[in-house]
Chains A and B, each alone.
Chain A
Amino acid sequence: MTATTSIPTVKLSTHIEMPLLGFGVFQIPPEGTESVVSDALAAGYRSLDTAAAAYRNEEAVGAAPSRAAASPTTSSSSPPNYGSRTRARSPRDARSSSPLIVSASIISTSI
């Protein structure tokens, strides 16, 4: 694996730094999602775009960072990046250092 790329960020109104480039999982089949998301995290992505119901692969998205957190490619010192449509599953998730982004599709006008 080559060195990961540093991704520039933009500052949101809530003062959170959001990577200019993230990884989208829309239309990735659930059975392949965990593996693909693991690849994305290893490559350097730190922002994941998902949506619980509409994309139908959220559980697999959540599994990948948990696994990656134990590997050297995703240091636990990596800053958390919470994206646009973030919805944490629990307070613990929201405060952890995992780059997990879980989002809600309830506000979206298309699925």
Chain B
Amino acid sequence: MGDYYGAWRAMQRLHRDGLIRAIGVANFYPDRLVDLIDHNDIRPAVNQIECHPFFQRAADHELMRERGVQIESWGPFAEGRKDLFTDPTLSEIGRGHAKSVAQVVLRWLTQREVVAIPKSVRPERLRENLQIFDFELTDDEMARIAALDTGASLFFDHHDPAQVSRLGTARIQ
């Protein structure tokens, strides 16, 4: 937030100077994203947003596709909120493929061409998270996961003025 137009124009200059290969944004809802695209020379290559089974962003994804902006998920596991790792639907789908809930979620994201960047500090987990390109979710399974969407963030309300002010004025040490 804040002077993101100024920041974007500075990044455009760095891109033109060949110092940056691609520039993107994060947490842009469709209104701000379209505004930024329409009034600048370079459109964001990527928009990294909250995206997980409980907040799927299907309409936002479609708009980004139309505008040539790659969607990237943060919080693919919703940080375990709403008991994601023991969710009955995800667990059952995982059992059918001999995969973990985490692998089902990452497969679901990437099968829809959503870039995922899961975190893990455990070597076995970070390797497990890579093993998602050797199976495919069926249309029925994709539909069952789609039904888990609540349509709301589990983390922030970027449209709440108090939240906007808090995020925008936070100072990093």
Q: Interface of A with B (CB < 8 Å)? A: 2, 4-8, 10, 12-14, 16, 18-28, 32, 36, 39-40, 43-45, 47, 49, 53-54, 56, 80, 82-88, 90-91, 94, 104-111
Contacts and interface: CB of A to CB of B under 8 A. Distances in A.
A106 B22 contact: no
B113 A10 contact: yes
Contacts of B69: 13
B42 to A, nearest CB: 8
Nearest to B129: A21
A22 B113 contact: no
A12 B130 contact: no
Nearest to A5: B130
Given A13-B43, A13-B69, A28-B121, A83 B130 contact: no
B117 A24 contact: yes
Secondary structure dominating the interface of A = loop
29 contacts: A8-B110, A12-B70, A13-B68, A14-B21, A16-B22, A18-B46, A18-B70, A19-B115, A21-B110, A21-B116, A28-B121, A43-B130, A45-B126, A45-B130, A47-B117, A82-B20, A82-B21, A83-B22, A84-B47, A84-B70, A88-B20, A94-B18, A105-B26, A107-B7, A107-B24, A108-B27, A109-B28, A109-B158, A111-B167
A23 to B, nearest CB: 6
Given A43-B130, A82-B22, A86-B23, A24 B74 contact: yes
Contact of A20 (B24, B116, B119, B168): B116
A94 B21 contact: yes
Given A20-B110, A24-B74, A110-B158, 17 more contacts: A4-B130, A5-B133, A7-B133, A10-B113, A12-B46, A13-B68, A14-B21, A14-B22, A21-B117, A21-B132, A43-B127, A82-B20, A84-B24, A84-B47, A109-B28, A110-B26, A110-B155
A43 B25 contact: no
Given A24-B74, A85-B26, A91-B19, A12 B110 contact: no
A98 B6 CA distance: 29
Q: How many residues of B sit at the interface, in one of the four size bands? A: 35 or more
Contact of A84 (B22, B106, B120, B131): B22
B124 to A, nearest CB: 10
B112 to A, nearest CB: 10
Contacts of A39: 123, 126
Given A24-B74, A94-B21, A13 B45 contact: yes
A101 to B, nearest CB: 10
